[in-house]
A and B are shown apart, each in its own frame.
Chain A
Amino acid sequence: MRLREAWETSKYPYVELTYRAAQLSGASATTATGAKDPKAQVKAVIKNAKISKIVFTIFLCIGMVIPFAEFGINHSPISLVGAVTLSLLISFAYLMLYSLQILPSFAGAEPYSLLLTLPLTTRDFSTVTLLSFVRTFDYLAIGSILVPVVTTGILTGSAAASVVMLGASIVNVIFAVMVGLWFSSLFYRNITRGGRSRGAMISRTLFLISWGFAAMSTGFVYQLATYTLPYVNQLISGNLSQAGGALIAALHPFTFGVAIASLAFPKFLPISYPISNTALFALVSYVAAACYVGLAYVAVRRTTRTISNITHGLGPSIIRVAAKEFTLKLRRPLSAYLMKDIRIASKNPSMAFLFALPVFETVIIAMSISGARMVGILDVASMTMMGSLFTLLASSMLLNTERTGLDYTMSLPLGPSVIINAKSLISTLIYLPVPVVVLLIELIKGGTVGISALFPFVEILAISAATTAEVAVFITARSGSTGVMKGSKSLAPAGFNIMSGENLGRTFKAIAIALFIVAAPVAFFFGLAAYGEITSILAMTLVAMAELIIVQVIVRLTR
């Protein structure tokens, strides 16, 4: 099979891989009753995946260029070292996180099972599967290789530096893909593992939460570029001992930073005796860079072998744990629904993302508070509102994760109130770390807030009311809208796909109402601020409690 033919053929398993990754992440919420046109939905999923890849690439390229801003201004060797180092780190992070989204479905090898039944030689099969793997990263790999090379070339004017940057970028991509593939296999093994042992559940949950935080770091890397670059430069230009400096020069990605800076600034590398520290660091970096290139070659061979093993069905195997007994532990319907959602969350990467989201966004806001300033009530309110906003988004996305199981749930004697309250409880759980994090930030940075420190804790009541209302508005059909059972409030049979055409209006309406409920107590707090902190916080509490009571009464009436 010619390479061009293999490239064309690789499109099919690649599309299957993309679709399965979307299903795994909950992006494709197909239900038997919700999907009006499955063919159109498949096309939409593939198109969205392509857009996601392009957007990811754009963010990656921008992320890789930002660290060069300081070098562009002061043009010093030290800032070039920092820029290259950080640029490579950002590229590594993005590539690895992207691979975590796509590759778990690759690790299952299902997209390739049909190819195995076709009359392809082993070599052709391996070529096609390898190329389909390359397709998952093509835009990102090209971006992460070309962008820093062009940037280095333009800013340094050094051909040698650009060539080394090219090598560094390629090595970096290889390492990122290899690590991403390893993590994905680990993740796949984790989610397919059976067993009810506490250890298995805890390790699965911890793994998923870590994954969630790692996934959130894609947004965090921009903060990293501006926040940590001064520390990186300080580290490099500080009074390092010869051993310390040599160690840093030997560590990827500092290695390439030092090597490129030494080539862009030859005077940085004076050949003299006794050899200067900077010259020593540069020499160490050249040797280390050569070693990393060798390591990358080994990594390519290993990765190719791993890909071949996976696609031949020799990848991570499903571990079955035979049951010793069949005992069921029954609960009340609400608790059972809650437990069902928590169990699904413990094995679902998109749910891990949801759990990490509000806390992460709160921390990002906290980072914008300058070091010298103490935390004031406006800072507390900003952090709380950011956490609240993302809790509401998470609440909507929780509905999306029901997927095909929703059809079965709708065949059960379950009133809407059970589903509404279960989703709301989980959303409130997602928000709970936010007030704790805000309090910690106040304690670390020092706050001037007094009793208003209760602000984010009171907001728990508003969040509970808001998420209850949000879910209720979304899932409870009203007379006259699509798919209504006339004369009765029942679960809307258009499915819980919040982004489907017929549900989009309802999604926005639900979020708008929830936002109002969250904002109302805050408005009362600031509106009555002139009457003192205690009055403000009391008013906020009373309003939030009233909202919760009203919403619960309305939900009970829909039973």
Chain B
Amino acid sequence: MPVIEASGVVKTFGTVNALSGLSMKVMPGEIYGLLGPNGAGKSTMIKIINGLLQPTSGTVRVGGYDISSDPFEVKSAIGYVAESSILYDSLSPRDFFEFVASVRKIDPAKANERVTKLADAFALRQYYDSPIATLSMGTKQKVAIIASLIHEPPLLLLDEPLNGLDARSSRILKDLISFHAEKNKAAVLFSTHIMEVAEHLCTRIGIIYGGKIVAEGSLEELRKKASTEKELGSKEASLEDIFLRLTHEEEEVTETVKILREAFLVGR
């Protein structure tokens, strides 16, 4: 059974169509990368799955539960990292983890064991009792990541989780995600702008454009799809090339770069 099953999801904000009938499935053990340009609807979709926004129409089911009618069951199964910090600034990381773990009714021994290991791994000792408002963006992100993993959720929703993380923490997180998906058969929905990360981490990629999934599959499948649209010759296309090809932005980007190059040369 899919962990996430979205069907014909539409979301409008006034006259703006953020999502225009998006459909997707994420299976257990899968790391699904959601790629798209700014404003494509990635964060909107993640918030809908999480119950933070309601779809204008369409259905979303998580673990068989409908987010509209069974929000409690859905939220129990999700670990969420938002794109921007949505933590309580006045609380310290310790206060925040206590709050989250208590609300999620996690076994105290397990919660303490996991938090201790994660906080150590992410080098949080110096910041553990400082107000979150005083932490750097990267450290706040670490707090959010630990809070999302504390209950070993069957579904991780990660919206640009690597924002602000140093190389060490990025590597730890990527390895954790892979381990969690492989060993615990958890599903991970991962939104990122960093093509290299999606290329190496995700087992399946969905390209979202204009509020819809325009292409979906493994990297190889997407490569084949992109190359049927335009011949690439012997060069193996990177995910970035594939992305620009499938979202029909390749020519626009080439033109824009040409204009910028000319602008820089004018001053000389």
Contacts and interface: CB of A to CB of B under 8 A. Distances in A.
Contact of B105 (A333, A415, A488): A333
Contacts, number: 156
A475 to B, nearest CB: 14
Contact of A340 (B68, B73, B76, B91): B91
B51 to A, nearest CB: 7
Contacts of B47: 32-33
A405 B88 contact: yes
Instruction: Give the one of B50, B85, B103, B130 with max A CB within 10 A.
Output: B103
Interface in A475-500: 483-488, 490, 493
Given A328-B101, A344-B90, A413-B72, 20 more contacts: A32-B82, A33-B53, A194-B131, A195-B129, A318-B130, A322-B128, A323-B124, A330-B106, A333-B103, A340-B88, A340-B95, A344-B88, A344-B91, A404-B86, A404-B89, A408-B80, A412-B100, A412-B103, A412-B104, A483-B54
B119 interface: yes
Contact of B102 (A195, A330, A407, A490): A330
Contacts of B102: 330-333, 335-336
A368 interface: no
Interface size class of A (residues with CB under 8 A): 35 or more
Contact of B52 (A33, A191, A326, A405): A33
Contacts of A329: 98
Majority-rule SS of A interface residues: loop
B69 interface: yes
A403 B100 CA distance: 17
B98 A328 contact: yes
A234 interface: no
A441 interface: no
A486 B68 contact: yes
Instruction: Give the one of A33, A413, A483 with max B CB within 10 A.
Output: A413
Contact of A408 (B54, B82, B97, B106): B82
A333 B105 CA distance: 7
A32 B84 contact: yes
B101 A330 contact: yes
B39 to A, nearest CB: 15
A149 B116 CA distance: 64
Instruction: Give the one of B92, B104, B129 with max A CB within 10 A.
Output: B129
A339 B98 CA distance: 10
B94 interface: yes
B73 to A, nearest CB: 8
Contacts of A415: 72
A321 B76 contact: no
A411 to B, nearest CB: 5
Nearest to A191: B131
A427 B85 CA distance: 28
30 contacts: A33-B52, A192-B133, A192-B134, A196-B92, A320-B126, A322-B125, A322-B126, A322-B128, A323-B129, A326-B115, A326-B120, A327-B116, A328-B97, A328-B101, A328-B111, A328-B112, A330-B108, A340-B91, A343-B91, A347-B90, A348-B90, A405-B88, A405-B89, A408-B82, A413-B71, A415-B72, A418-B103, A488-B69, A493-B53, A493-B54
B99 interface: yes
A420 to B, nearest CB: 15
Nearest to A343: B95
Interface of B: 13, 47, 50-54, 68-69, 71-73, 75-76, 78, 80, 82, 84-92, 94-95, 97-106, 108, 111-112, 115-116, 119-120, 124-131, 133-134, 147
A414 interface: yes
Q: Which 7 A-B pairs have the closest CB atoms?
A: A336-B102, A405-B88, A323-B128, A194-B130, A407-B86, A413-B75, A413-B76
Nearest to A401: B90
A265 interface: no
Contact of A330 (B69, B72, B82, B111): B111
B18 to A, nearest CB: 13
A410 interface: yes
Contacts of B104: 412-413
Instruction: Give the one of A195, A332, A490 with max B CB within 10 A.
Output: A490
B129 A414 contact: no
A337 interface: yes
Nearest to A333: B103
Contacts of B76: 413
A485 B87 CA distance: 25
A488 B82 contact: no
A407 B52 contact: yes
A321 B129 contact: yes
Interface in A372-421: 403-405, 407-408, 410-415, 418
B151 to A, nearest CB: 10
Contacts of A327: 112, 116
Contacts of B103: 333, 336-337, 412-414, 418
A32 B50 CA distance: 13
Nearest to A488: B69
B224 to A, nearest CB: 37
Nearest to B71: A490
A322 B76 CA distance: 32
Contacts of A344: 88, 90-91
B129 A330 contact: no
B10 to A, nearest CB: 15
A412 B75 contact: yes
A507 B82 CA distance: 29
Nearest to A351: B90
Contacts of A487: 68-69
Nearest to B109: A330
Contact of B86 (A408, A485, A490): A408
B72 A405 contact: no
B95 A410 contact: no
Contacts of A333: 102-103, 105
Contacts of B108: 328, 330
Contacts of A411: 50-52, 75, 78, 80
Contact of A485 (B54, B82, B119, B131): B54
Contacts of B112: 326-328
Contact of A488 (B68, B73, B91, B101): B68
A410 B131 contact: no
Contacts of A339: 95, 98-99
Nearest to B128: A323
A332 B102 CA distance: 6
Nearest to A328: B98
Nearest to B14: A36
Contact of A196 (B71, B105, B127, B129): B129
Interface in A322-368: 322-323, 325-333, 335-337, 339-340, 343-344, 347-348
B127 A328 contact: no
